[in-house]
């Protein structure tokens, strides 16, 4: 609003009433925005609680972290077992080849 001086008290009162009504409207908008933010915060809080229950608490099952650790242990054991098979195969291969060559030479 332009800064002008009112020479008459009625204009001053009118300007003051206009400023007060604008302030009230602005406050109503701010209140509505605050209410929306609070609702979003509540929704986000509920989502985070659900995720925590799933990840940390397991939601009736073992927690995801525990399940991931079990999977990692299983993969490691499987890789070890596979490595041991290959090692056994590579150790036995020269003997098997020598045996086959021996049979072939007879």
pLDDT tens-digit profile of 74-100? 999 988 888 888 888 888 888 888 888
- Element (DSSP H or E) covering residue 29: helix 9-52
1 three-class SS: coil
Which residue reads 């929306």 in tokens? 36
User: Band of the pLDDT at 62, cuts 50, 70, 90?
Assistant: confident
* Stated pTM of the model: 0.39
Q: pLDDT digits over 4-26, tens only?
A: 565 788 888 899 999 999 999 88
Nearest to 58 by CA among 70, 48, 66, 46: 66
Residue with the larger pLDDT of the pair 79 and 1: 79
């Amino acid at each position: 609003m332009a800064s002008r001086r009112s020479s008459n008290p009625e204009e001053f009162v009118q300007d003051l009433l206009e400023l007060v009504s604008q302030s009230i409207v602005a406050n109503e908008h701010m209140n509505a925005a605050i209410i929306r933010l609070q609702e979003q915060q509540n929704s986000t809080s509920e989502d985070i609680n659900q995720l925590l229950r799933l990840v940390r608490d397991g939601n009736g099952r073992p927690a995801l972290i525990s399940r991931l650790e079990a999977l990692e242990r299983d993969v490691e054991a499987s890789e070890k077992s596979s490595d041991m098979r290959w090692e056994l195969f590579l150790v036995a291969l020269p003997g098997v080849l020598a045996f086959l060559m021996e049979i072939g030479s007879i």
